Structure 1
Amino acid sequence: MDYTKDYIKVRNFINGAWIEEAACDQLTIYNPSTGEAIGEVPCTGQERVQEAIDAAHTAYQTWRKESVHKRVSYLFELRNKMKEYVEELASIIAVDQAKHIEDARGEVNRVIQIVETACAIPMLTRGEKIEIGGGMEGQIVRKPLGVIAGISPHNFPALIFGWFIPYAIGTGNTIVYKASEQSPLFMQRMMEIFQEIGLPPGVVNLVNGDYNVGESLMASPKVRGVCFVGSTPVGKHISEVCGREGKRAMVLAGAKNSLLVMEDVKMEGFIGQYLNSCYGAAGQRCMAGSVIAAVPEIYDQVKTAMIEAAQKLKVGDATDPSVFVGPVISQKHLDRVLEYVELGLKEGANLALDGRNPQLPEKNQEGYFIGPTILSEVTPEMRVAQEEIFGPVVSLMKVDNLDHALEVMNSSQFGNGGAIFTQNGYYTQKFLDEIEVGMAGVNVGVPAPVPYLPFGGTKNSIFGSGIKAQGQDGVEFFTQRKVATIKYFPEETHQATPKEEASKSAF
């Protein structure tokens, strides 16, 4: 099966077997670059979802007892297979998610790094031991949670897989994973890879469909943890449900990231970072730069440089290596992005660069495209400065100074990422000390941390347990500490009376 060329009827993968859902409603998959229908996704019913949960629950009884060495050996094999299939996996992402092929390659390679980091789970799950005294000792060991539910967004089908599945199974859990109905093809290929490496049945299960699948996953008492990446409203809902049901939740939600440009900026370096941050992946990532804040001394120069650089970017088919900006995910989302452009104009912003109706090859005329767009003279109270647009639309605003910039940036309901562009050590340290985000950058437009550091924001960008993705935080989420208090009685000794034992205890 060629996931980049064939019409794909997406299947579920449960207990090591592929299942075609012929008797349920189907959702159409479109290639965002062309608008062409390329496949169908089943709206999996509750009974089938429960079947996947039951398979994961049964597999867990054996998998959790498997040696950590054996579990991690599968991750090594997974890493090797992904290295072998980098180009194929990237091409799949470039078709149904329509991420530009270079960005898609970067995403797959980053996931390989995440899997490599997860291979350190034997070290990351080491326990603790303490001698209490009086012949007593205490120990802490990490144990898996049980069955995990993973719910993925459309924009990073590989990256979210990397955050959830390797850490979940490496620490002894099993998982039922829901791929996005808009970009499900990557996970179809990954389940084939799990078959290739001989992962035991039921350890990783895949179910497909709309939001009802996620609701069914959360409703099951056998699911002990839920992982989600997506919008803030949905993230809040998932967090509330998990809180009521006593489930652990990792919920990474919305963002509105700002890049602050100070008067001593190295302009060439900033422009390169700005283009990648604001227009890479067509702006459809939680770490995308959405607001550029510049101080008065350099505002006009920044505006001119931004426009000139963005005008040179090629817009078109995500599989074309010469293209920089591909399409957004759907016609519905394109309409939403265009509405924000109109809203910005109504609010009083100027259209410094109009990316609407870009010039496209004939085969892409029905695709979902908007080119780089700049709204200038934006003010902090405008909705385009406050709300997540999730497209290649940038709001340029003027700030008085560093203190004013921090006040504006910290007033956001979101706290995912933010960056400053400066060579000044005082500016840098003050920014890092006072910016209210989970991931900060200095002269870095996308301050996403490397795989062995935690990924996640603050405020309305994170819910649930507050534990972030990848690295030690990944291990923290997928395990629970079991504490034991231990005492051994000597073979020949005075037997303490109940009264003497009671006097040693605080309870």
Structure 2
Amino acid sequence: MSATTSLIEHWIDGALTSGNSTRRGAVHNPATGRTTAQVCLADQSDVEAAVASARSAFPAWAATSLSARTRVLFAFRELLNSRKHELAEIITREHGKVLSDALAEVSRGQEVVEVACGIPHLLKGAHSSTVSTGIDVHSLRQPVGVVAVISPFNFPAMVPMWFFPIAIAAGNSVVLKPSEKDPSAAVWIAQLWKEAGLPDGVFTVLHGDKVAVDGLLDHPDISAVSFVGSTPIARYVYERAGLTGKRVQALGGAKNHMVVMPDADLDLAADAAVSAGYGSAGERCMAVSVIVAVGDIADDLVARIAKRTATLRIGDGSREPDMGPLVTEQHRDKVASFVANGETAGATVVIDGRTVTPDGDADGYWLGPTLFDNVEPGMDIYTEEIFGPVLSVVRVASYAEALQLVNSNPYGNGTAIFTTDGGTARGFETDVQVGMIGINVPVPVPVAYYSFGGWKDSLFGDSHAHGTDGVQFYTRGKVVTSRWNAPAGGLELSFPSNR
């Protein structure tokens, strides 16, 4: 480790520690290409230490009153709100996204914290009196134990906050394994929890790669796993954790379509396409990557999208351009290879992001917005989740053809339709086989008191993130049937029935 780089350590038992492993990973500033830090990469002994700390903290935290837990949640919310610009700056330095986008990410994550502040209401059970003579029934929900959250690089604050506020509020302890590409946000959040009064061990940060992931998936003291990432890894997480009986919610990849009908407001649709396709350099699981132009509007729509795309400024996210760099050099090169493949396959390159001149260091991981027209469903740029600023336009003749295109895709994360016809919109929301739908809204990420999650290969497991699904995932239900002061009734071997 050079004198100019810092060491990003684990957070275990309420303190920073480098653990036992001597393995390290490089952390870069994507806008400059420079190594800014080294991050500890856990070995199995570090996994054991992290889980042991969380396991030790769980019983006391689970027994803590709802009022006391809620006070900690409110304190965390207030600290996060007052210092969110600090967190946004960390995200921009390590992920590369524009500072205003990073700040919006923190704000959306904070919405889940605010929902978790209402956990006493969300954990209320039901009570039925005198269901049978002298017998009452009531239900309650209890925490599951130690839960693991394995989060991706693209939202180092928001995605973990989809999970851990509700898990902690419900009485669980959490081990967060953030992406090793941008790990500092997780440590900052851990320190904020301590300042808010959360007991040591209830929130743990374990850095690492596959060794850490597999260690958490296999560990007998982990009761539940929440994961967000690519579909192949989501399937792997779901299957491996399921072998040991863990609860799993594994959110996978996406190929989100935006259907534009002939009656749509084309200026609105073009604005939406550019914003949803190129925001955060396309590194969003809810990014629009395919525009489905229905009927004879395609030429006009493509021209409007191209005009807007050409105005975008690309550069260092701290300078507030429209779009920043991609997260790593390797990922930039992978996305650029998809652009080359699309051109070779015969799609029309309307705007080529490989020729961008950024407002930033020449060694940054730059790739500008790229727009393809005349894309066919068999091309790589259509079938693969590119996870970059590449927007493809597919032309279809009818609404029925557009619906079939969306429904035949193996992914089912998000989709949108732009139309001024209420009947078309209503039919689309009923018939489309996708978990999250926007009507004239290009990025239909639900508010925090609803749940986030897709269908088909975009979700493995039965539970979506946050909202009521999140509360149910991080708790187990009990039903209690009770009778008091009843006289002895003698033996009765038949199955009990209500009287």
TM over 0.5, shorter chain: yes
- SS of corresponding position for 1:226: strand
CA distance in 2, matches of 1:173, 1:22: 26
Indicate which of 363, 368, 372 corresponds to 2:369: 372
> Matches of residues 47-66 of structure 1 in structure 2 within 5 Å?
47-66=45-64
- SS of corresponding position for 1:375: strand
CA distance in 2, matches of 1:502, 1:296: 68
Per the alignment, residue 350 of structure 1 pairs with: 348
| Structure 1 residues 218-268: Cα deviation after superposition (integer angstroms, max 9, x where no partner) | 111100000100000000011101221100011111000000111111122
Per the alignment, residue 392 of structure 2 pairs with: 395
Per the alignment, residue 68 of structure 2 pairs with: 70
CA distance in 2, matches of 1:163, 1:113: 9
Per the alignment, residue 16 of structure 1 pairs with: 14
CA distance in 2, matches of 1:26, 1:77: 34
Change (3 A) 1:381 1:503: closer
Answer yes or no: is 1:468 the counterpart of 2:464.
Answer: yes
CA distance in 1, matches of 2:220, 2:497: 36
Per the alignment, residue 481 of structure 1 pairs with: 477
Superposition deviation, residue 61 in structure 1: 1.1
Superposition deviation, residue 503 in structure 1: 5.3
Superposition deviation, residue 313 in structure 1: 0.2
Change (3 A) 1:133 1:283: same
Change (3 A) 1:22 1:143: closer
Superposition deviation, residue 209 in structure 1: 1.1
Superposition deviation, residue 21 in structure 1: 4.0
Moved more, 59-68 or 192-201: 192-201
- SS of corresponding position for 1:297: helix
Answer yes or no: is 1:504 the counterpart of 2:493.
Answer: no
| Structure 1 residues 298-336: Cα deviation after superposition (integer angstroms, max 9, x where no partner) | 110001011110000001111111x11111111111111
Superposition deviation, residue 364 in structure 1: 1.7
Per the alignment, residue 287 of structure 1 pairs with: 286
Query: Which residue identity is paired with 1:34?
Result: T
Per the alignment, residue 139 of structure 2 pairs with: 140
Identity of aligned residues (%): 37
Superposition deviation, residue 113 in structure 1: 1.6
| Structure 1 residues 327-355: Cα deviation after superposition (integer angstroms, max 9, x where no partner) | 11111111110111111122221111111
CA distance in 2, matches of 1:504, 1:352: 73
- SS of corresponding position for 1:37: strand
CA distance in 2, matches of 1:22, 1:15: 15
Per the alignment, residue 125 of structure 1 pairs with: 123
- SS of corresponding position for 2:28: strand
Query: Which residue identity is paired with 1:115?
Result: V
Superposition deviation, residue 76 in structure 1: 0.5
Query: Which residue identity is paired with 1:370?
Result: L
Superposition deviation, residue 73 in structure 1: 1.1
Per the alignment, residue 98 of structure 1 pairs with: 96
CA distance in 2, matches of 1:224, 1:387: 33
Which runs of no fewer than 5 residues in structure 2 stay unpaired?
none
Verify the 8 A CA contact 1:180 1:208 in the aligned structure 2.
yes
Superposition deviation, residue 357 in structure 1: 2.9
> Matches of residues 276-355 of structure 1 in structure 2 within 5 Å?
276-321=275-320, 323-355=321-353
Verify the 8 A CA contact 2:21 2:41 in the aligned structure 1.
no
Verify the 8 A CA contact 2:20 2:45 in the aligned structure 1.
no
Per the alignment, residue 226 of structure 1 pairs with: 225
| Structure 1 residues 105-131: Cα deviation after superposition (integer angstroms, max 9, x where no partner) | 101111122211111111111111223
Verify the 8 A CA contact 1:357 1:369 in the aligned structure 2.
no
Answer yes or no: is 1:404 the counterpart of 2:401.
Answer: yes
Alignment RMSD:
1.5
Change (3 A) 1:22 1:249: closer
Which runs of no fewer than 5 residues in structure 1 stay unpaired?
1-5
Superposition deviation, residue 460 in structure 1: 0.4
Superposition deviation, residue 22 in structure 1: 7.2
| Structure 1 residues 420-468: Cα deviation after superposition (integer angstroms, max 9, x where no partner) | 011011211111111111100011110111111111100000002x211
CA distance in 1, matches of 2:458, 2:74: 32
CA distance in 2, matches of 1:232, 1:22: 32
Per the alignment, residue 157 of structure 1 pairs with: 156
Answer yes or no: is 1:442 the counterpart of 2:439.
Answer: yes
Q: How many pairs are equivalent?
A: 495
CA distance in 1, matches of 2:225, 2:324: 31
Superposition deviation, residue 504 in structure 1: 2.8
CA distance in 2, matches of 1:387, 1:126: 44
Per the alignment, residue 420 of structure 2 pairs with: 423
Superposition deviation, residue 45 in structure 1: 1.0
Superposition deviation, residue 48 in structure 1: 1.3
Superposition deviation, residue 53 in structure 1: 0.5
Verify the 8 A CA contact 2:217 2:225 in the aligned structure 1.
yes
Per the alignment, residue 248 of structure 2 pairs with: 249
Verify the 8 A CA contact 1:151 1:227 in the aligned structure 2.
yes
Superposition deviation, residue 476 in structure 1: 1.1
- What TM-score do you get using the length of structure 2 for normalisation? 0.97
Per the alignment, residue 271 of structure 2 pairs with: 272
Verify the 8 A CA contact 2:313 2:358 in the aligned structure 1.
no
CA distance in 1, matches of 2:422, 2:495: 58
Verify the 8 A CA contact 1:118 1:471 in the aligned structure 2.
no
CA distance in 2, matches of 1:505, 1:242: 40
| Structure 1 residues 144-202: Cα deviation after superposition (integer angstroms, max 9, x where no partner) | 00000110100001111211111111000001111110011111211121221221111
| Structure 1 residues 270-316: Cα deviation after superposition (integer angstroms, max 9, x where no partner) | 22211210000000000000000101321100010111100000011
Superposition deviation, residue 96 in structure 1: 0.1
| Structure 1 residues 55-81: Cα deviation after superposition (integer angstroms, max 9, x where no partner) | 111111111100111112111111101
Change (3 A) 1:22 1:29: farther
- What TM-score do you get using the length of structure 1 for normalisation? 0.95
Query: Which residue identity is paired with 1:488?
Result: W
Query: Which residue identity is paired with 2:397?
Result: D
CA distance in 1, matches of 2:194, 2:54: 16
CA distance in 1, matches of 2:13, 2:367: 42
- SS of corresponding position for 2:138: strand
CA distance in 2, matches of 1:167, 1:392: 32
Moved more, 56-65 or 261-270: 261-270
- Extract structure 1 runs of 4+ deviating beyond 2 A: 20-23, 501-506
Moved more, 146-155 or 381-390: 381-390
Query: Which residue identity is paired with 2:29?
Result: N
Answer yes or no: is 1:193 the counterpart of 2:192.
Answer: yes
Per the alignment, residue 3 of structure 1 pairs with: none
